A and B are shown apart, each in its own frame.
Chain A
Amino acid sequence: MNHRMPITRRAALATFGVALAAPAIRPSFAQGAPIKVGVLHSLSGTMAISETALRDTVLMMVEAQNAKGGILGRRLEAVVVDPASNWPLFAEKARELLAVSRVDVTFGCWTSVSRKSVLPVFEELNGLLFYPVQYEGEEESRNIFYTGAAPNQQAIPAVEYLMSADGGSAKRIALLGTDYVYPRTTNRILRAFLISKGIPESDIMEEYTPFGHSDWQGIVSRVKRFAGEGKKTAIVSTINGDANVPFYRELGNQGIKAEDIPSVAFSVGEEELAGIDTRPLVGHLAAWNYFMSVDSPANTAFKTMWQAYIKNPRRVTNDPMEATLVGFQMWAQAVAQAGTTNVDAVRTAMYGQKVDAPCGYTLEMHRNHHLSKPVMIGEVQADGQFNIVWKTPGPIVAENWSPFIPENANRRRG
């Protein structure tokens, strides 16, 4: 029942540093100060629901790396702070990590606004941030490595799938989202894409809700009505974490079956499904770059390691966790290659860095600070997992500056 037993142990780890754990692991470390790894994920407030798992992932990777003897013979030490889902506090904590704790690298942020809040701090103090969540693109900071998907690595392939014969040949699309920048931008890109595919404006519905929206009755019945206009309809959901449970419950209760109106979501993964009875939702889709159900040796190792670390054989993994893991491994390789934790040296070493990721492909970090990633479409199964029904033949290079946003043509380079 209590899946959070390890909390005391982790709290101890965080509070006392790895000093207590080190004798137990007993790898031989050469002389030298520990390499500090900042963890900037909300542990309280609205985003704790998503971000605590990422904090645990980083702590797991630090522990694992130390067991392997650290990097450059130096021990890793995690510095955990709680920015409490408060955006100005994110900036303050980022400054503290960089200026006071003097961390060598930071893994953190989930929402775009938190990243935008810390970005000037990382640029000013020349820090290094790994950002593990899919986002709207339109950004490329030399101090951030983006290990989540850009819109062309998630949204566009997913909509192409919906319009294909296998996806149900959708001719009419309802774009539902939470009212913030990621859905707005993604939907703007999708609208331009759909129009380029010959879908008229009148066949696109766009609707936004506040964060944590819990009353979906009206919107779901409007979607039903929209679907009742004689053309095959599909839902593209950019609904944010918290609002998904009530949304899917309403979808199930109003009897919207995936056979009739399939929906594809970009923010619903295994963690979100863990809070829902998925039986009425079988066949609804999600697009990610990783699913827990991927069959690859790296993924098996990842799942085993995670469930052992968290001491719960039923805990799931998800895409942002995989992105965190890939980012961590790349950073560790880059530090080893550069022979130093100096940010500029590590940044240079990051370009072209490759990792055999749990998603089953070898991913590469490009000069645009984004990863190449495969796109996968999964169907929700009755057990809360995804059945991968489609994937790209290989990793796709990120287009963080979308060609579907005309203003990108005027963008200032450099």
Chain B
Amino acid sequence: MKNTLLAFLLLLAAALPARAQDAFVAALPGLAGNFNAQAEAVERLGALADPRAIPVLRALTDGRLLKRPDNTLVIREGTTTTDVLTGAATDAAGTEALRINNRVRVALRGALGRLQLVSPDPAERLAAAEAVFRTRSADNVPLLDAALARETVPRIRDRMAIALAASRLMASDPAAKLLGVEALGASASPEARAVLLEARAANPDILPQIEAAVAAIDRRLAVRRAAETFFQGLSLGSVLLLAALGLAVTFGVMGVINMAHGEFVMLGAYTTFIVQEACRGIPWLLPWSLPLSVPAAFLVAALCGAAMERGLIRHLYGRPLETLLMTFGVGMMIQQSVRLVFGAQNREVLSPPWMQGTLLLPFDIPVTQNRLWILAFSLVVLGLTVAAIRFTRFGLEMRAVTQKRAIASSMGIRTGRVDALTFAFGSGIAGIAGVALSQIDNVSPNLGTGYIIDSFLVVVFGGVGSLAGTLVGAFGLGLVNKILEPWAGAVLAKVFVLIAAMIFIQRRPRGLFAQKGRAAEA
């Protein structure tokens, strides 16, 4: 792979006339100049088709291009530095990293795109096609034509075709323009739509064709947008589900109102941070820190929960409202402890690479990776919770104790132990929720407070004691919120959802999935 690349570059270099090579050398000092000079030099390098420019431009993008006091350039690669012109290893002393701004970055993207369209690496070609699409210059038409003819990967071909169409739109030839409009109109890409809209002003002669193409894209996008909103609703629902699931156990099954629930979620998020910091020392473990945090957060929160149940809540069974007040006090103390130990500032929890960026589902529906993972994760946690309650001995005992404590006790079940385990279990789930929330929210001492009211509402809305109700309640409220948001605004949408939930609970006090029989009587 590396050899073919080298051979290819050498071939390209040998084919260049000597004058172009001088142009490469001549363009370099501009890179050490001000932002204007930099952008100009980058554009010149991009137009040269000189392969030596690629590592230089990449280094500039990544902040690895350094200048010596005499404005000659050096590339840093790990711990070694090499001279740009000679390629010889040099001393880094006295050098200063070159800084760029957004204008230079745009130029760099275009230049690298041009240079890498024929790269042997498919990922680079894809990025190049994207970059050339955004640059949109008629000069790129022959380049793209040639690249497209050689391209075999369908995904890259598609991107190149769009890029070609967009570049054609910039050409002066009306026939080429129409060809471009037609190709863009056949896509379902919002970017293509943007290009078409932008071209309206410059091309009054083909306005009807452009409008038709935009309308065609709009029809395809309408479906996509609905799907996007649906996903956003599901995603919000999954966050609500995670936050509420622990409560569904402690409140729904045991009837304990735990106002410190949000603090357990927060403890889970801080555990994620601690595990990540612990993993920093062991580089191969770092990408795994997030999965490792899940059991760790469960344990930490479960232990805190068990301690709280045994030490405090146990004494208040049958007095749910007193429990509410006491746990509020405990929550205050947990929050302030975390603030004193970790500081009031946010803590940085990194996202592993597989949770970053956007994934395109079929029909080009964009979903953000982290939210997709959290959605899947919430369903897994729900599944495991249901399984634990349905199929394990602990679950059986738990159900027995909540249904008829005295009989369960007389059957030999140690009800005190079951209470502690159940509460620990619910708290542990809250801790797991904290791991997920660390990926989308602040890891700060206030993390939990933002979720507590929503969680209670979800549990009550769904029907206390019913996990299915919690599931439907969470996704229902999430979806309604996201459907309302575009026309009501984020604040009012939330207010409407709250009012709707309140009215609903008043109509059906037992929630969506009412528990039948005596057990449901509060």
The answer to whether residues A246 and B343 also contact, given A168-B103, A228-B191 and a CB cut-off of 8 A, is: no
CB of B369 within 8 A of CB of A274, answer: no
Write the A1-24 contact mask toward B (1 if CB under 8 angstroms, else 0).
Answer: 111100100000000000000000
CB of B343 within 8 A of CB of A3, answer: yes
CA gap between A44 and B337 in the complex, in Å: 11
B485 CB-CB contact with A under 8 Å:
yes
A31-39, A212-220, A330-338 - the one binding chain B? A212-220
CB of B193 within 8 A of CB of A228, answer: yes
Question: For the complex, would chain B's binding face be called helix, strand, loop or mixed by DSSP majority?
Answer: helix
Write the A226-269 contact mask toward B (1 if CB under 8 angstroms, else 0).
Answer: 01111100000000001001100110111100111010000000
For chain A, residues 84 to 139, give those with C-beta under 8 angstroms from any C-beta of chain B: none
B114 CB-CB contact with A under 8 Å:
no
Q: Report B339 CB to chain A, min CB distance, Å.
A: 6
The answer to whether residues A230 and B343 also contact, given A225-B190, A275-B443 and a CB cut-off of 8 A, is: no
A53 CB-CB contact with B under 8 Å:
yes
Write the A168-182 contact mask toward B (1 if CB under 8 angstroms, else 0).
Answer: 100000000001000
CB of A207 within 8 A of CB of B489, answer: yes
Q: Which residue in chain A gives the minimum CB-CB distance to B239?
A: A215
A217's partner among B103, B191, B368 (CB-CB below 8 A) is B368
B348's partner among A1, A227, A277 (CB-CB below 8 A) is A277
CB of A7 within 8 A of CB of B340, answer: yes
A46 CB-CB contact with B under 8 Å:
yes
B346's partner among A207, A252, A260, A275 (CB-CB below 8 A) is A275
The answer to whether residues A218 and B490 also contact, given A53-B345, A168-B102 and a CB cut-off of 8 A, is: yes
CB of B345 within 8 A of CB of A49, answer: yes
CB of B490 within 8 A of CB of A49, answer: no
CB of B441 within 8 A of CB of A49, answer: no
The answer to whether residues A214 and B486 also contact, given A53-B345, A254-B368 and a CB cut-off of 8 A, is: no
B351 CB-CB contact with A under 8 Å:
yes
Q: Report A56 CB to chain B, min CB distance, Å.
A: 10
A271 CB-CB contact with B under 8 Å:
yes
B194's partner among A52, A210, A215, A227 (CB-CB below 8 A) is A227
For chain B, residues 345 to 395, give those with C-beta under 8 angstroms from any C-beta of chain A: 345-348, 350-351, 356-358, 366, 368-371
CA gap between A4 and B350 in the complex, in Å: 21
CB of B341 within 8 A of CB of A4, answer: yes
CA gap between A414 and B378 in the complex, in Å: 60
CB of B340 within 8 A of CB of A218, answer: no
A168's partner among B106, B357, B358 (CB-CB below 8 A) is B106
Across-interface contacts of B190 in A (CB, < 8 A):
224-225, 228
Across-interface contacts of A277 in B (CB, < 8 A):
348, 350-351
A364 CB-CB contact with B under 8 Å:
no
B336's partner among A2, A44, A209, A253 (CB-CB below 8 A) is A44
Q: Report A162 CB to chain B, min CB distance, Å.
A: 10
Q: Which residue in chain A gives the minimum CB-CB distance to B444?
A: A49
CA gap between A381 and B97 in the complex, in Å: 13
B344's partner among A1, A49, A221 (CB-CB below 8 A) is A49
The answer to whether residues A274 and B277 also contact, given A213-B490, A230-B196, A379-B102 and a CB cut-off of 8 A, is: no
Across-interface contacts of B446 in A (CB, < 8 A):
45-46, 49, 212, 242
Q: Report B137 CB to chain A, min CB distance, Å.
A: 15
CB of B103 within 8 A of CB of A165, answer: yes
CB of A382 within 8 A of CB of B63, answer: yes
Across-interface contacts of B339 in A (CB, < 8 A):
44, 48
CB of B102 within 8 A of CB of A218, answer: no
B80-88, B227-235, B310-318 - the one binding chain A? B227-235
A30 CB-CB contact with B under 8 Å:
no
CA gap between A224 and B194 in the complex, in Å: 10
CA gap between A249 and B441 in the complex, in Å: 8
The answer to whether residues A166 and B103 also contact, given A4-B341, A217-B235 and a CB cut-off of 8 A, is: yes
CA gap between A46 and B348 in the complex, in Å: 18
The answer to whether residues A4 and B103 also contact, given A166-B35, A228-B190, A230-B200 and a CB cut-off of 8 A, is: no
Across-interface contacts of A207 in B (CB, < 8 A):
489-490
CB of A389 within 8 A of CB of B194, answer: no
Q: Which residue in chain A gives the minimum CB-CB distance to B335?
A: A44
The answer to whether residues A230 and B195 also contact, given A44-B336, A255-B357, A275-B443 and a CB cut-off of 8 A, is: yes
CB of B345 within 8 A of CB of A229, answer: no
B440 CB-CB contact with A under 8 Å:
yes
A69 CB-CB contact with B under 8 Å:
no
Q: Which residue in chain A gives the minimum CB-CB distance to B342?
A: A4
A253's partner among B63, B229, B358, B445 (CB-CB below 8 A) is B358
Q: Which residue in chain A gives the minimum CB-CB distance to B109?
A: A259
CB of A245 within 8 A of CB of B490, answer: no
For chain A, residues 272 to 297, give those with C-beta under 8 angstroms from any C-beta of chain B: 272, 274-277, 280, 283, 285
CA gap between A285 and B101 in the complex, in Å: 10
The answer to whether residues A245 and B351 also contact, given A254-B368, A275-B442 and a CB cut-off of 8 A, is: no
Q: Which residue in chain A gives the minimum CB-CB distance to B359?
A: A253
The answer to whether residues A253 and B356 also contact, given A4-B343, A217-B368, A275-B442 and a CB cut-off of 8 A, is: yes
Across-interface contacts of B346 in A (CB, < 8 A):
49, 245, 272, 274-276
A167 CB-CB contact with B under 8 Å:
yes
A341 CB-CB contact with B under 8 Å:
no
B442's partner among A51, A227, A246 (CB-CB below 8 A) is A246
CA gap between A45 and B336 in the complex, in Å: 9
CA gap between A225 and B106 in the complex, in Å: 21
Q: Report A15 CB to chain B, min CB distance, Å.
A: 14
Q: Report B114 CB to chain A, min CB distance, Å.
A: 16
CB of A52 within 8 A of CB of B102, answer: no
Q: Report A295 CB to chain B, min CB distance, Å.
A: 11
A222 CB-CB contact with B under 8 Å:
yes
CB of A208 within 8 A of CB of B491, answer: yes
CA gap between A277 and B103 in the complex, in Å: 23
Q: Which residue in chain A gives the minimum CB-CB distance to B336?
A: A44
B99 CB-CB contact with A under 8 Å:
yes
B197 CB-CB contact with A under 8 Å:
yes
B78 CB-CB contact with A under 8 Å:
no
Across-interface contacts of A186 in B (CB, < 8 A):
none
CB of B103 within 8 A of CB of A275, answer: no
CB of A242 within 8 A of CB of B193, answer: no
Write the A356-394 contact mask toward B (1 if CB under 8 angstroms, else 0).
Answer: 000000000000000000000001011000010100000
B256 CB-CB contact with A under 8 Å:
no
Write the B475-490 contact mask toward A (1 if CB under 8 angstroms, else 0).
Answer: 0000000100110011
CA gap between A213 and B493 in the complex, in Å: 13
Q: Could you list 14 further interchain pairs (A-B, Cβ under 8 angstroms) beyond the known A255-B358, A259-B109?
A: A2-B341, A4-B343, A49-B444, A167-B103, A213-B490, A217-B371, A228-B190, A230-B194, A231-B198, A249-B439, A258-B102, A259-B134, A275-B443, A389-B35
- Name 17 interchain pairs, CB-CB below 8 A, sorted by A: A2-B342, A4-B341, A49-B442, A215-B235, A217-B368, A221-B232, A224-B190, A225-B190, A228-B191, A229-B194, A230-B195, A249-B439, A253-B371, A275-B444, A277-B351, A379-B102, A381-B63
Which 4 pairs from chain A and chain B are nearest by CB?
A275-B346, A230-B197, A230-B198, A253-B368
